[in-house]
Amino acid sequence: MADAGKDQTPEGLTHLDERGKARMVDVSGKPVTVREARARARVVMKPSTLKLIVSGEVEKGDVLAVARVAGIMAAKRAGELIPMCHPIAVTSVEADFQVDEADSSITVLVTVKTRDRTGVEMEALTGAAVAALTIYDMCKAVDRSMTVTDLQLLMKTGGRSGTYVRGGDDDPR
């Protein structure tokens, strides 16, 4: 297996070589392990827009059902969208939504799993971002002031770096 330090610049950036040129990291020597990641994004909107979504009255259709499918599809395609992201065998994608009427927002939660040589953080983040953008797209006719915000990794498990869980109020559990 490759030495962990060999694949990093002095600054610890694995996608740059020693001369600062972009590169795709060689993961062929890494062991296959079970890996999981969860990410979220939030869409803030007018209360009237949230009411349309919840009641199923958006003209384009079932916003959350379409956003769920979009998030799943996006997670599976992250390796095609992000230049240095490895294409991996995604084994599971879940996309869920938390409606917050008090804040007039929807939080998108995407969890991705694999059994591979590299993690699924980018897949989870891509899924959450695209699901949130789909909510915006389906509702922009009634609310162009929506904001997609707070895209972040909540947790990841597996691999050499171990487990990461965002702390504080952002804890995903």
- What residues are labeled active site? 137
Beta strand extents in 60-169 (DSSP E only): 90-100, 105-116, 147-157, 164-165
Are the C-beta atoms of 40 and 149 separated by less than 8 Å? no
- Residues β-bridged to residue 108: 41, 97
How far apart are alpha carbons 100 and 97 in whole angstroms?
Answer: 10
Contact 20, 9 (CB under 8 A): yes
From the CB of residue 102, how many other CB atoms can be counted at a distance below 10 Å? 6
Contact 119, 25 (CB under 8 A): no
